[in-house]
Amino acid sequence: MAKKVLVIGACGQIGTELTMRLREMYGAEQVIASDIREGNDQLMQSGPFEQLDAMNKEQVEDVCLHYEIDEVFLMAAMLSATGEKFPKKAWNLNMDSLMNVLDLGREGKVEKIFWPSSIAVFGPTTPKENTPQHTIMEPTTVYGISKQTGERWCEYYHNKYGVDVRSIRYPGLISWKTQPGGGTTDYAVDIFHQAISKGSYECFLKPDTALPMMYMEDAIRATVEIMNADPTSIKERSSYNLSGMSFTPEEIAQEIKKNLPEFSISYRPDFRQEIADSWPGSIDDQQARKDWNWEHKYALDSMVQEMLQQLKTD
Ligand code: AKB
């Protein structure tokens, strides 16, 4: 029998595309989208939707039991920039939602869990280039602290209770279909929309701020691949480093200019600069490549080409 999947936070940047991909793979009725708010028409009309608050264990449990859910993808979270404005809210949402789902795993009510971590688990004392899988982690944002704590809980629930939880440390994600919300890497999506609509962009990071990034297509494929990998191949039950590309605002602007010669960029760094400065510039993901055969497809040039093409015809 085909598996039943619940996506919590299905209306967000990753959740929307992940839900659509899972519906293509497993059948629309097998994939239950859920969120605290409604999503875009395509998501709402393509399969079942349940309104729920990820922080409410009873609601999450009811939906899991009602639909006989096998796998949960918990994508609800408050990201780095918004998290700095609402630290307690970010902590509560990011931690409570995870503990609710981990407990459902421990109680045997769901079989497998995906939970996203982030490059935000790293901090200013982490080696900046080719950041290893295991290294110093002293995050300075509340989002990073919640993701690092979450990683420890995932590993703990796996080791103590045998919960099959799998996780990836996502870099900044770039997509033409959905907009990010409240992150530090959001500029790398916004720049395309502004380049097309206005021909210029004012960036909230300095020109030479290198950050790890990934095209959404690669990120969704990684998420599906890690969830479908043999459990014995998943050696990291905290979270896996994952790398696609790494670039600065200046480099992506140059790449956009190759396609839109009139495009111009200016810089006005704000509070997000400090967050970006605390994160790595590039990530070593050898372990994911070795354990579950991860391979990225998109580099800066192919990603820029596709983003501009898709947004121009949209
Ligand atoms: C953010 O910028 O907060 C996120 C992330 C890197 O996890 N995109």
d(CA 115, CA 239): 9
Out of 26, 67, 143, 156, pick the active-site residue: 143
Q: How would residue 275 be classed by pLDDT, with cut points 50, 70 and 90?
A: very high
**Domains of the chain (ranges, CATH numbers):** 5-171+214-241 (3.40.50.720), 173-213+244-282+297-313 (3.90.25)
pLDDT reading at 241 higher than 90: yes
Query: What is the residue type of 292?
Result: W
Report which ligand 1 atom has the smallest distance to the Cα of 279: 6
pLDDT reading at 314 higher than 80: no
Confirm or reject: Cβ of 80 under 6 Å from ligand 1: yes
Looking at residue 90, its pLDDT comes to: 98
Report which ligand 1 atom has the smallest distance to the Cα of 119: 6
pLDDT reading at 45 higher than 70: yes
244-259: per-residue pLDDT in tens?
A: 999 999 999 999 999 9
Report which ligand 1 atom has the smallest distance to the Cα of 80: 3
Percent of the chain with pLDDT over 90: 96
pLDDT reading at 2 higher than 90: no
Confirm or reject: Cβ of 303 under 6 Å from ligand 1: no
Look at the block and give the residue holding tokens 């503990």: 99
176-207: per-residue pLDDT in tens?
A: 999 888 999 999 999 999 999 999 999 999 99
- Going from the Cα of 143 to the center of ligand 1, the distance in angstroms, rounded, reads 9
Confirm or reject: Cβ of 34 under 6 Å from ligand 1: no
113-159: per-residue pLDDT in tens?
A: 999 999 999 999 999 999 999 999 999 999 999 999 999 999 999 99
Is 298 an active-site residue?
no
Confirm or reject: Cβ of 170 under 6 Å from ligand 1: yes
Looking at residue 180, its pLDDT comes to: 87
Residue 47, φ and ψ in degrees, nearest 5: 175, -175
d(CA 58, CA 53): 10
Question: How many C-beta atoms surround the C-beta of residue 184 within 10 A?
Answer: 30
| Of residues 229, 225, 213, 241, the one with CA closest to residue 298 | 213
Question: Rounded mean pLDDT of 102-109?
Answer: 98
Q: Can you say how many angstroms the Cα of residue 248 is from the centroid of all Cα atoms in its chain? A: 20
Paired tokens of 146 = 């919640």
pLDDT reading at 278 higher than 80: yes
| Mean pLDDT estimate for the chain | 97
d(CA 126, CA 137): 6
pLDDT reading at 313 higher than 80: no
12-32: per-residue pLDDT in tens?
A: 999 999 999 999 999 999 999
Confirm or reject: Cβ of 238 under 6 Å from ligand 1: no
pLDDT reading at 76 higher than 90: yes
Nearest CA to ligand 1 atom 1: 183
